[in-house]
Structure 1
């Protein structure tokens, strides 16, 4: 209101001068810059990191990033295949764990796209391509975070009833997974839908030159609050399971391993959650400081390393699954062994055929070995 009154007073007192000034002012306020390339925004925000990603540094980052992404694709695909193949994993918890692996796989795709659109290339991007680059990263983070929240609900439903797995049907789990990805895609598209600074350059951040500082504050705070809530919930569930297990163990029948299964699953989830919080919190804090317009924090020099730390999280999760879950480890091991055995059988030279024909004993032994190998591979799915 004060702004409108001041403009009207200037128009009344100084019609000739104020008319020109205000026309220019309002045209600047209403001007949007969707047609600009990113160099316009990088130069305006004094961001020099795009030029730093050149030469040897860029080659090292690309090599390390490529290795990480290949491992992310392979290991998370293995986790998803293990859940599909082994009937022991056909429960809601493991379906959600496979979806978390799918989120990590998607993160690998986002990092590959980032690697080919970073460094000197950053300033040549269009606004829409830059939105796509950042939107993929935001979507992968939201998918992982939302998935962990849903796993927390699933664990709470089962643990409070002292069951290994909840009673969620496959239909409900499928709907939950679709809901997770719908939320992730929406959150990744929020800046593109309008919460940006393309029409108000004074609100632009430094690390993300076309993101509004208010959006960065919202994004960082919402994720940090979600981290805190999940840590509290999982600690509460963990203490409940530990107390109940200690109380009921002397009075319950069944094997020790069966009674310890809920605790083993909780340790697996808590390890995954801990790695997620450790890898993502520094980057979110940096975004929060940028949103608060902290110009003396030296954020430009640390953001790339925190981005690599976030990439490391998608690489760590499959290692945690295989290390903490013996059944998952054995299934993945058998799948790798069977795959390598099948490749070896296909690549054997043709001289084996002549050996089989000339030496019947060797041939029969080779046949028995092949049958035993295929039997082992088939047993891994049971």
Structure 2
């Protein structure tokens, strides 16, 4: 009687088994870093350097700064309206981005070579997800402002679902983009297709991310340009109608807000464009061909700097938010007895405009 043979494995099962074993193999990390020429010198043999510690401290500042803004929003009921939900979502993603990048820095260097690919994907993917959430939150805010300002009226209570849909979609898309390498869109076993900046990521994945983020940036610019044109037209039209002075003043507030938007877009482009260019160069350059790719930490640090500036731009330019934060930090030394903000000698803050129009719960 013939002995029954084992069931043959399908190609897909063999691929999954091979991928699982590769994800647990520490030598994969060394193989990829060595192929890209990143093991030369003492970068991955020594511990943390002074620059690493300095960047980690900046990340702590990013996390603390954004945590203060979140606390101010949570403690003040006047901010418990849909208009501020997306602002809180942006602040949350920036805070988590600072925390995750700090973890990335503290586990870099020699610690990298002691990781399995699974841990490496978790480390890099965590930073990517939070940075992606920050960028996509900027797009969600642009969409919200487009709807609100074009209609020249705030969201009503029955529109809260749209806010939560934007927040949920931003995180779903961010997580989806971040886990793609872990799910198989990587270059393990295909060294010639690997990124130099992120040696386990496929170049095709890097190009895909550049395309997505560029599309997001273009969408933000298009939305704000359209807002500017419509609001400018409404301002000129309402100025000639005496009976519509209230709407004219509201339109003027929107125009003042667009000045802040210009700063937002300028800072965003200034912080992210160098990283976009570096990743595009990473896609085009073969291994060891472009030395600038070995200094990617500085370019990523500039992108992280955007998370440091976002709370300042999006909240401290709002008089209501600024007062809430100042009361939270130091009420006796920054708030007068009648509840007014003391003059602190910073013209930019004293003459700032309100990020969101005054709204009441309905």
TM bin, normalised by shorter chain, reads 0.7 to 0.9
Superposition pairs of residues 97-116 of structure 1, within 5 angstroms: 97-116=87-106
The answer to whether the 8 A contact 1:205-1:211 is kept is yes
- The answer on 1:89 being equivalent to 2:82 is no
User: TM-score scaled by structure 1?
Assistant: 0.74
Q: Does residue 1:150 correspond to 2:143, yes or no?
A: no
Q: Does 1:254 align with 2:246?
A: yes
Q: CA, structure 1 residues 314+194, in 2 after alignment: closer, same or farther (shift >3 Å)?
A: same
Q: 2:36 aligns with which of 45, 53, 58?
A: 45
Q: How many residues align?
A: 320
Once the two structures are superposed, what CA deviation does each residue of 1:174-230 show, in whole Å capped at 9, x if it has no partner?
Answer: 233122212211211110011001133332222211111111111112212221222
Counterpart of 2:174 (choices 161, 184, 189) is: 184
Take 2:234 and 2:50, find their aligned partners in 1: how far apart are those partners? 50
2:216 aligns with one of 226, 232, 237? 226
Taking the aligned partners of 1:91 and 1:293, their CA distance within structure 2 comes to: 48
User: Counterpart in 1 of 2:329?
Assistant: 336
Question: Structure 1 residue 340: deviation in Å?
Answer: 8.4
Q: Counterparts of 1:114 and 1:186 in 2: how far apart (Å)? A: 20
**Alignment TM-score, normalising by the size of structure 2:** 0.78
CA distance in 1, matches of 2:196, 2:62: 30
Pair 255,183 (structure 1): closer, same or farther in 2 beyond 3 Å = closer
Larger C-alpha radius of gyration, 1 or 2? 1
Describe the SS at the equivalent of 2:42: helix
Contact 1:93-1:151 within 8 A present in 2 as well: no
Listed one character per residue, the Cα deviations across residues 95-148 of structure 1 (whole Å, up to 9, x for unaligned) are: 101110001011012111111111222222210111011101210122112212
Measure how far apart 1:269 and its partner are. Answer: 4.0
Q: 1:293 pairs with 285, 289, 293, which one? A: 285
Q: Once structures 1 and 2 are overlaid, which stretch shifts more, 293-302 or 215-224? A: 293-302
Unmatched runs of 5 consecutive residues or more in structure 1: 1-26, 342-368
Runs of 4+ deviating beyond 6 Å: 53-56
Name the counterpart of 2:310.
317
Question: Residue 55 and residue 264 in structure 1: after superposition, are their counterparts in 2 closer, same or farther (change >3 A)?
Answer: farther
Query: 8 Å contact 1:215–1:291 — kept in the other structure?
Result: no
Residue 87 of structure 2 is aligned to residue 130 of structure 1: no
What is the RMSD of the two structures over their aligned residues, measured on CA atoms? Answer: 3.2
Aligned 1:23-38 pairs, distance under 5 A: 33-37=22-26, 38=29
- Find 1:283's aligned residue among 266, 275, 278: 275
